[in-house]
Each structure stands twice: as C-alpha cells, then as structure tokens.
C-alpha cells in the first residue's frame, strides 16, 4: 500500500510537471500578450519595450518558464502584470469561496441523490422513480444560468425572501447565517444539475447489483429486504458512484463559471475568465496548477476508496486476487 | 458572453490623452450648500417632484426641506470590471478612472462644453497664464490644498507628477500628452511654469490632470513606480480629493470614505461610496431594481425597457464621448488580391451613402446614439456642425457613384474593377454584440449595392496585436473615445503617424488635411482654432478615411428615489466620467 502510494505520488508529480509545461506553452502561444492589454495603446515602442523588459516579458519562453518554476518551488506564485499584486492574494480567497459554494452544492445533492436513487431502484417505475426521471431531464436540459435568473426573479425580487447575489451582505462578511441565506439560490441551481446525474447513477448501479445471483441467494435464504439492500447490495453499488465522485472532485475548485457569474459569487470560475481576457499569465498558470492537483488527487482518492469499499481490489499487487 | 469592459471596446489615442485627465469638472461655482435660497423645486427629476408634491405645505419651518442636501449616507454604484490601480499616472481603464476621479482633486476641471475651468474643488487658483509666444504656461495653485495625510499640496507635487509622466522609465500612458514639454520650473511654493518646445495648443488639456504626492513617492526609483503599492494598497494611497480610498476587496468591491482632511471650501455630502463589481450585467440590473445598488454607469441597451418600467429608476440616454466608425485600409498588401478597393474617393462616398446609419442608431442602439459626420464631438466647441457632409442613406446614389468610379457588376452580381471583385473582410472584436449587429447591417447594406462584406469577430488582444497596431487589416469597425476634450486627432489621421509608431493604421494620406492638423496645434486662440477644425471637419467628411457612424453611449441608470442632485449638478454624459459630474454636490437619502 505505502509503496503503491509513493509510486502514484511520484507519477502525479511528473504529470503535473508536464501539464505545467504544456499550459505555459499554450498560454504563451496565444497571440496578443499582456503588453497589448495593459500597456496603453499609443505608448511609444521604446517605452513599451522598457516596460516589457521590466516585467521580464522580453525573455525567451523557456527562460520565463524556468523562472516561474523556480519561484513556484519557493512557494511564490508570482505577481499580476498589470498591478503587481501577489497571485496568492487573488487566488486563495476565490478557491475558498468556490469550495464553499461547490462543496455545499455537492454535499447537498449527494445527500438527496444517493438515497433517492437507491429508493427508486427498489420501486422501479414508481411515482418517485418517474419524478426523479423528470427532474433529471430538467436538470440536464435547462441552462443553469437561466434557471438561476428565474429563481432570482421570484425569490429575491418578487418575494424578497432571499438575497439576489454575492456571498455576503456588505458589512456582514464572515456571518454564517448571512452566508447560508446567500447559498440557498446558487446551491439550488447547482444541485439540480448534480441531482440528475447522481440519482441516475445510484439507481442504475443499485439495479445492477440487485440482479446479481448472490442477492437472489440472500433473498432465498429468507433475509429481510432491508437487510438485503443495506447489508449486501449497497456496498457493492457504491463502488461506481465513488469513482464518479472522485473524478468529479475538480469541480469543487474549478467552479461553475456561469452560476458564479449569475450570482456574482467571487469564485474561481469568474476569476479564470477575467484573467484569460487580461492575459495574466501567472494567475492562469496558478489556476491550472490548482485544478490539476485536484484532478490528480481526486483520482488517487477514488483509487484508495475503491480498495476500502471493494475487497477484491488490492492496491500495489499485480492483478487483483478474487476470493 | 461576457460584456467586454469599456476600455476593451474603445481603445483610443484620444482616450489616452485623457487618461490622467478625465474627471468631474463643473460650470457653476456658487451652488448648493446654502439651501435656503434655493427654490424647493430645483430638484432633479420627475420622480423626485412627484414624491415631494405633498410636502409643499405652509409649515416649512417645521418640516425639513425635502430637497435640501443631506450629509452622510452611502452611494453604492454597480460596475462590471475591477480596478487595476488608482495611481493617476497609470490609469488606463474606466473602473480605475472612476475611483481615481473621486479620490483626487485635479489641477483644473471642465465645464459642460469641455472648456478648462477653475472650480472650488480644483487645485489651481486661476486659469493658466499663457505667454505671448504661446510657449510658456504659468499655473498658480491654491495655498490651501492638502493631502489626506495632512501634508500641504505644493508646486513640488505638481512638478514631480509631470516629470514622472514625462520619464519613459515610468511607463506612463500619458507620456505623449507631455512630450512637447521642455522644462517645468518652480517659481514659488504655489506657482509652476511649463516651458514648451514649440507652440502646442492641445497642451492646455494636459493640465486637466490629477497630482500625485511627491513626499510619498519621490524616493521610489522611477522604474519601480508601476509596481509600487501606491494606487493598490488603500493605506498607502495618499490623495487629495473629497473621498479617500479605504478598502479594496479584489473582484468584489471598492470602498471610498470621506477624506477627513479635505481642504476644499465645499465639502462632499455623501459619506461613503461603494463600487460593487458585477460579473453579469443582468444581475446588475436586477440589483438596481432590488435596491442593492443605487446607480449603474452603464447598462446594456437591451435592458432599457425593463428598467424604464420601474418608477424609481431614472435612465439617462444621452450618448457619451465615444464614436464608432468603419475604417478603410489604403495599403494594397492588406488585401488577398493585393488591391485596396477603397482608393477612389467616390467609392468611399458611395459606401457612406449605402450605409443606413440612422437605422443602426434606431434599431441597434435603441436610440442611445446620434449620427456623427466628423471626428469631433457634437456640441463641443470644435464641433463643425453643418460644415461636415451628412451622408443620408441613399442606395441609388451609392450605385451611381460606384459606377462613376469604374465598378461594374460581375457574373455573381458583385462589382468588379480591373479584374478585382469588390469583396472585403470587416473586422471587429468578438463578443461585442453591438458591433456584431452593426457589422451585419453593413454587410446587408453593402450587398444591396453590389459589395460583398465578410464580418469577422476576433479576440480583442489578438486583434490589437496582429491587426490594429501594425495596420494590417482590410477594414475595421471600432470606436474612439473622446474623453479628452481637445479636438486634435493628428496621431490617428495624419500621414506622419503611420504604424508602428503612429495610429493611422489605415495608411491614409491627405497632405491638405495633414497641414490643417498642424495648424490646429499652432493656434492658441480658441475661436480661431475652432475654425481650423471646422475646415478639417468639412474636408475629412468629403475625403472619408473613415465612415463616421454615430456617437454612442451606454445608458446610465440612477435610483432617483435615493440619489439626488440640484439641476446644475446633473451628470454630463458627453464628458469622460461625466456620469459622476459634480458628485461632490450630490446627496443620498435613505
């Protein structure tokens, strides 16, 4: 297990390194560098040259990459070009804000979707199952931003029950009750999106397990249905769900750009779009890096959870041994 | 898609000149604080008046005057992009300019026609004295002016500011506005003398500018100024205006509070100003309706109707200091067949006749624009008015002119001349929905007269880098901002300013007009100068390096139930940052 973990972590570091090179090259290959954006049009070419030199933008791309990597090793994510603000000052608050929003939405939707999916697998095509299908279709088909606007119109403007946008009311930063009120609408929008997928997955996975021979055996032994479901079927049915959750982990930080935009949530999705337009290389690199780390981590966590839930999977040995 | 910030959609040389130089000026010095001599009905708008009708009772002695300014309160303004830095030397975007304007006093201010004036809140004590040879400007400043840390604002600060902008190591965008300056001398603590290398009339507007504190910045090496915390860290940003920079939550909001050391004789009424950043303009409009914010400088034209339906919201539709144009390229190598179809004057005039500009104003701009026929702002002192040719939409006349210029219909109906099809690409910045729609109208209008247009949206940064700056494009749809009221536009129309150093990216050359731009710079007397620009307006509208389309703006919305001003302090859309014109005299009610 330990050996496996070390191997996986080393692999991950290599992957992250390659991703960073690739991203760096791609960002720099895009035409129209930061000088075009933040230097004034009409600034004489000499003056523009001086500025580019001061910012190190006139050096070859590999040199710029080496400098960036060197700084990163010392924990320095760099500064923005246009106003020399440390990237961390901009990045970490948005990472935190996005995690609050996405975490709440994710948790909330799991709490609803998984039990609901499981219940529906036991009463296939019943009223609850049909409702779930209907909700799924809506969740898949309705553009999230549009749903968001509808909720804002009704619950904020018309009824005036909930705040329209933002994370906190001005002057109430850090107030949990205020945060909760602000979370309700965006979390509802995001939950509808997640709900569709997760309830379908849980239902399908459960149905597959319930059709297995050992379940029939269990039932034949005269076990109570409750015991069959929770004791025998559930653990196996959770395996594919865990995979999906692990792979979905990156959305916790990458954010939902559209939802964040509609609800004016100060998160990563918005930041990424703004920074891409402004060609802020250091911020873009840092965002890519953070998201990549989470992707790699998510995969790793999914694998480890696998081993815990599924005794057939043994990490580190070549080919799982089945009992 | 995300609406691009204002600066993105309207880069400009002229705006550049106005970078440090934009702000709230005024035309009336003797207004406001004394409420008793002001009739009760001078308040601004319908909403206010209807709200107050039942207050016109005879017990005025006991009821407070509802139109009297109230001190304190918070004005929350919605905006769509974050600031970069509020250091006036580096301001290059609208959001930073908004804040900079409120926290800094300016040397001089502007009246509604764009004339340089001295206001109670200007740093200067009197208008500049210009020497007989036109090369020396003497500026006297008020001895009362102070920084918000209590230090006096003196001639040293003014000299430090201008010398920094002049220094290429500083990388200040305003450098071109002071490149005619030879020396700046301190006569005494309150008198500064600017010596110019040559007579240069536009220099007067270089004095419409904020000042930075030399006692804070003089020891910073010039090349490090751009990365200095001044302008980014509120605690280190010492300024001289009615409000001060007190908090910046990146990507979310900026807070300004009253400057306790404000030196002006007239103090601001509004206690606190918050700039709240909205990523989505629809959300911003909803926030206006809900009352989360009391003003938006600009909402999309598509939202006008919805906002008008709300009684408390007042929409200001007057266009701003911006104009849109179609620019032709005269250089053959910028076309696939190495032939510029735009070289004939009659051809260009035909295109002007073929375009339904009024239709664009009515349908795309929803009435928030006015036709432009020359590069000078309508209503400003340099406006040539009727002297400039107004091309009325007339497809038949366009066809006749094209035929006169030798264009004949080819097999597919598209005009041809000397074996070249009249077909070109019209570029604009992708994501700008106004330009997308206008480009489609142009495509249709020109198709009607036998010209094939291919509209092409390009990412803004890419476009500037590869097409605009090097002058490599067939034709573009873009706009200029005229936030500096000086009419001089030599650097975009004269053949002295070809790329890469100049901004005449269409490679247009007309020696008669070149000479007129120079004459305009050499004429100090404003009435004489205005005649030169009338002449330019006439010539340029005949020769058409551009088709001037329209002056436009984005509608400003104000919650009139909360934000109040006296009539003479109303916003002035035609000036840069004019949506906050005289904000020092505004007040808010709860």
- What is the least distance, in Å, from the CA of B320 to any CA of chain A? 21
Candidates B70, B71, B65, B59; CA nearest to B37 is B65
Give yes or no for residue B201 having a pLDDT over 50: yes
> Which chain B residues are Cβ-neighbours of A161 within 8 angstroms?
none
Q: Which of residues 153-182 of A touch B (CB under 8 A)?
A: 153, 156-157, 160, 164-166, 170
**Going along B30-121, which residue ranges are E strands?**
74-79, 109-110, 116-117
Q: Looking at residue A34, what is its pLDDT?
A: 65
Residue A177 in any domain: the answer is: yes
What's the pLDDT tens digit per position in B223-276? 888 889 999 999 999 999 999 999 999 889 999 999 999 999 999 999 999 999
Q: Which of residues 35-94 of B touch A (CB under 8 A)?
A: 76, 81-82, 84-85, 92
Contact B584, B335 (CB under 8 A): no
> Which chain A residues are Cβ-neighbours of B290 within 8 angstroms?
156-157, 160, 164
Which range has the worst mean pLDDT, B217-226, B335-344, B346-355? B217-226
- What is the least distance, in Å, from the CA of A57 to any CA of chain B? 15
Q: Which of A33, A83, A182, A274 should one mutate to test binding to chain B, selecting the residue with the greatest count of B CBs within 10 A? A: A83
When divided into structural domains, chain A yields a total of: 1
Sign for the CA dihedral angle at B172, B177, B183, B184 comes to negative
Q: Please name every residue paired with B78 in a beta bridge, in sequence order, or none if there are none.
A: B276, B296
Superfamily of domain B322-552: Dipeptide-binding Protein; Domain 3 (3.10.105.10)
Q: Looking at residue A35, what is its pLDDT?
A: 61
ipTM beyond cut 0.90 = no
End-to-end alpha carbon distance in chain B = 35
- Across chain B, which distance is largest between two alpha carbons, in Å? 85
Residue in the block written with tokens 């009727």: B386
Candidates B140, B88, B114, B107; CA nearest to B202 is B114
Q: Which domain holds residue A133?
A: 91-259
Residue A52 in any domain: the answer is: no
Query: Which residue from A51, A262, A270 is facing B171, i.e. has the nearest CB?
Result: A51
pLDDT classification of B38: cutoffs 50, 70, 90: very low
Q: Looking at residue A199, what is its pLDDT?
A: 83
Give yes or no for residue B585 having a pLDDT over 60: yes
Q: Looking at residue A119, what is its pLDDT?
A: 83
For the beta sheet containing B369-371, the strands, ordered from the edge strand earlier in sequence to the opposite edge, are B369-371, B546-552, B322-328, B475-481, B423-429, B452-458
Which range has the worst mean pLDDT, B39-53, B280-294, B297-311? B39-53
pLDDT classification of B379: cutoffs 50, 70, 90: confident
Contact B320, B578 (CB under 8 A): yes
Chain A contact present for B134, CB below 8 A: no
Chain B contact present for A10, CB below 8 A: no
Q: Whole-angstrom Cα distance, residue B293 to residue B558?
A: 9
Contact A280, A34 (CB under 8 A): yes
Chain B contact present for A58, CB below 8 A: no
Chain A contact present for B282, CB below 8 A: yes
In this complex, do B16 and A270 lie within 8 Å of one another by their Cβ atoms? no
The whole model's pTM is what?
Answer: 0.81
Task: Taking residues A53-59, report their average pLDDT.
Answer: 77
What's the pLDDT tens digit per position in A125-181? 888 888 888 888 887 777 777 888 889 989 998 898 999 989 998 888 888 999 999
Chain B contact present for A143, CB below 8 A: no
Pairing type for strands B74-79 and B295-296 reads: parallel
Contact A189, A144 (CB under 8 A): yes
Residue A228 in any domain: the answer is: yes
Residue A42 in any domain: the answer is: no
What single-letter DSSP state applies at residue A279? T
Residue A77 in any domain: the answer is: no
- What is the least distance, in Å, from the CA of A255 to any CA of chain B? 15
More confident residue, B397 or A318: B397
- What is the least distance, in Å, from the CA of B182 to any CA of chain A? 18
Please state, rounded to an integer, the average pLDDT across all residues of chain B.
86
Q: Whole-angstrom Cα distance, residue B314 to residue B172?
A: 37
Residue A5 in any domain: the answer is: no
Q: Please name every residue paired with B456 in a beta bridge, in sequence order, or none if there are none.
A: B427
Q: Whole-angstrom Cα distance, residue B423 to residue B416?
A: 9
Reduced to 3 states (helix: H, G, I; strand: E, B; else coil), residue B227 is: helix
Task: Name the phi and psi angles at B100, rounded to 5.
Answer: -55, -40
Tell me whether the omega of the peptide bond preceding residue A151 falls within 30 degrees of 0, making it cis.
no
Residue A6 in any domain: the answer is: no
Burial letters B112-134, b for 16+ CB under 10 A, else e: bbbbbbbbbbbbbeebbebeeeb
Task: Taking residues B526-541, report their average pLDDT.
Answer: 94
In this complex, do B173 and A40 lie within 8 Å of one another by their Cβ atoms? yes
Q: Whole-angstrom Cα distance, residue B24 to residue B16?
A: 17
Q: Which of residues 76-135 of A touch B (CB under 8 A)?
A: 79, 82-85, 89-90, 93-94
Q: Whole-angstrom Cα distance, residue B155 to residue B190?
A: 5
Q: Which of residues 231-270 of A touch B (CB under 8 A)?
A: 260-264, 266, 270
Q: Looking at residue A45, what is its pLDDT?
A: 64
Q: Which tokens go with A94?
A: 């948005």
pLDDT classification of A301: cutoffs 50, 70, 90: confident
Chain A with chain B: Cβ pairs closer than 8 A: 140
Q: What is the CA radius of gyration of chain B?
A: 25
**Going along B319-474, which residue ranges are E strands?**
322-328, 369-371, 408-409, 415-417, 420-421, 423-429, 452-458
Burial letters B376-399, b for 16+ CB under 10 A, else e: bbbebbbbbeebbbebebebebbb
Pairing type for strands B116-117 and B313-316 reads: unpaired
In this complex, do B464 and A152 lie within 8 Å of one another by their Cβ atoms? no
What single-letter DSSP state applies at residue B129? E
Question: Which residues of chain B are in CATH 3.40.190.10 domains?
Answer: 72-277+560-588
Q: Whole-angstrom Cα distance, residue B216 to residue B228?
A: 11
Contact B1, B457 (CB under 8 A): no
CATH number for the domain spanning A239: value is 1.10.3720.10
Residue A238 in any domain: the answer is: yes
Q: Looking at residue A68, what is its pLDDT?
A: 87
Question: Which residues of chain B are in CATH 3.10.105.10 domains?
Answer: 322-552
Which range has the worst mean pLDDT, A264-273, A285-294, B11-20, B324-333? B11-20
CATH topology of domain B72-277+560-588: D-Maltodextrin-Binding Protein; domain 2 (3.40.190)
Candidates A81, A86, A36, A82; CA nearest to B96 is A82
């Amino acid at each position: 297990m330990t050996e496996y973990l070390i191997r996986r972590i080393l692999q991950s570091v290599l992957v992250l390194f390659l991703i960073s090179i690739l991203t760096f090259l791609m960002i720099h290959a895009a035409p129209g560098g930061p000088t075009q954006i933040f230097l004034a049009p009409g600034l004489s070419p000499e003056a523009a040259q001086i500025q580019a030199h001061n910012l190190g933008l006139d050096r070859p791309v590999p040199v710029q990459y080496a400098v960036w990597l060197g700084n990163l090793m010392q924990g320095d994510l760099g500064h923005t070009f246009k106003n020399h603000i440390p990237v961390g000052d901009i990045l970490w608050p948005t990472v935190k804000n996005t995690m609050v929003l996405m975490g709440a939405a994710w948790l909330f939707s799991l709490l609803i979707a998984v039990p609901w999916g499981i219940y529906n697998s036991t009463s296939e095509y019943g009223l609850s199952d049909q409702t779930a299908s209907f909700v799924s279709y809506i969740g898949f088909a309705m553009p999230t931003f549009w749903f968001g606007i509808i909720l804002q119109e009704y619950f904020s403007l018309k009824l005036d029950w909930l705040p329209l946008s933002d994370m906190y009311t001005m002057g109430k930063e850090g107030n949990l009750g205020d945060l909760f009120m602000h979370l309700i609408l965006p979390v509802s929008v995001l939950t509808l999106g997640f709900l569709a997928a997760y309830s379908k997955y849980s239902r399908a996975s459960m149905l597959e397990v319930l059709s297995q021979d050992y379940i029939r055996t269990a039932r034949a032994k005269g076990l109570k249905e409750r015991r069959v479901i929770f004791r025998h079927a559930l653990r196996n049915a959770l395996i594919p769900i865990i995979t999906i959750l692990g792979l979905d982990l990156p959305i916790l930080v990458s954010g939902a750009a559209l939802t964040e935009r509609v609800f004016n949530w100060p998160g990563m999705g918005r930041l990424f779009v703004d920074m891409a337009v402004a060609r802020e290389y250091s911020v873009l690199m840092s965002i890519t890096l953070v998201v990549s780390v989470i992707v790699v981590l998510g995969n790793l966590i999914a694998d480890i959870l696998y081993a815990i839930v599924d005794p057939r999977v043994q990490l580190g040995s070549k080919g799982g041994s089945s009992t | 898609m995300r609406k691009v910030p204002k600066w993105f959609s309207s880069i400009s040389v002229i705006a550049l000149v106005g970078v440090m130089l934009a702000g709230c000026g005024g035309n009336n010095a003797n207004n406001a604080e004394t409420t008793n001599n002001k009739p009760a009905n001078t308040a601004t708008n319908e909403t206010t008046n209807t709200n107050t009708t039942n207050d016109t009772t005879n017990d005025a002695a006991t009821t407070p005057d509802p139109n009297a300014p109230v001190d304190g309160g918070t004005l929350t303004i919605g905006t769509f992009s974050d600031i970069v830095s509020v250091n006036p030397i580096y301001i290059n975007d609208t959001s930073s300019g908004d804040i900079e304007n409120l926290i800094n006093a300016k040397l001089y201010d502007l009246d509604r026609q764009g004339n340089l004036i001295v206001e109670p809140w200007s740093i200067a004590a009197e208008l500049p004295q210009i020497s007989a040879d036109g090369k020396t400007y003497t500026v006297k400043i008020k001895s009362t002016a102070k920084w918000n840390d209590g230090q006096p604002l003196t001639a040293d600060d003014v000299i430090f500011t201008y010398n920094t902008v002049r220094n290429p190591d500083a990388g200040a965008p305003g450098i071109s506005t002071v490149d005619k300056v030879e020396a700046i001398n301190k006569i005494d603590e309150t008198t500064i003398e600017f010596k110019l290398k040559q007579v240069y009339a536009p220099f007067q507007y270089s004095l419409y500018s904020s000042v930075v504190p030399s006692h804070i910045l003089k020891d910073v090496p010039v090349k490090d100024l751009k990365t200095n915390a001044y302008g980014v860290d509120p605690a280190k940003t010492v300024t001289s205006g009615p409000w001060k920079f007190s908090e910046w939550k990146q990507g979310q909001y900026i807070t300004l509070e009253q400057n306790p050391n404000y030196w002006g004789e007239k103090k601001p009424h509004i206690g606190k100003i918050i700039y709240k950043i909205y990523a989505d303009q629809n959300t911003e409009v909803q926030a206006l309706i809900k009352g989360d914010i009391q003003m938006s400088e600009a909402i999309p034209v598509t939202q006008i109707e919805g906002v008008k339906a709300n009684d408390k919201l007042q929409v200001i539709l007057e266009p701003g200091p911006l104009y849109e144009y179609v620019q032709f390229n005269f250089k053959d190598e910028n076309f696939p067949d190495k032939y510029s179809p735009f070289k004939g004057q009659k051809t260009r005039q035909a295109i002007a006749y073929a375009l339904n500009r009024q239709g664009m104003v009515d349908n795309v701009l929803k009435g928030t624009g006015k036709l432009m026929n020359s590069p000078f702002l309508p209503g400003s002192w340099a406006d040539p008015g009727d002297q400039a040719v107004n091309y009325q939409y007339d497809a038949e006349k366009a066809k006749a002119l094209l035929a006169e210029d030798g264009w004949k219909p080819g097999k597919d109906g598209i005009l041809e001349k000397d074996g070249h099809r009249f077909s070109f690409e019209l570029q604009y910045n992708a994501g700008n929905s106004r330009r997308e729609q206008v480009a489609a109208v142009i495509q249709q209008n020109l198709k009607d007269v036998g010209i094939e247009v291919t509209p092409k949206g390009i990412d803004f940064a890419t476009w500037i880098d590869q097409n605009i700056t090097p002058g490599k494009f067939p034709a573009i749809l873009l706009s200029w901002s005229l936030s500096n009221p000086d009419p001089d536009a030599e650097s975009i129309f004269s053949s002295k300013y070809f790329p890469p150093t100049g901004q005449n990216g269409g490679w247009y050359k007309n020696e008669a007009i070149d000479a007129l731009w120079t004459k305009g710079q050499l004429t100090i007397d404003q009435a004489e100068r205005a005649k030169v620009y009338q002449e330019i307006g006439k010539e340029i509208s005949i020769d058409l390096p551009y088709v001037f389309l329209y002056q436009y703006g984005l509608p400003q919305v104000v919650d009139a139930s909360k934000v109040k001003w006296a009539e003479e302090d109303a916003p002035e859309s035609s000036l840069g940052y004019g949506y906050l014109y005289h904000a020092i005299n505004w007040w808010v009610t709860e």
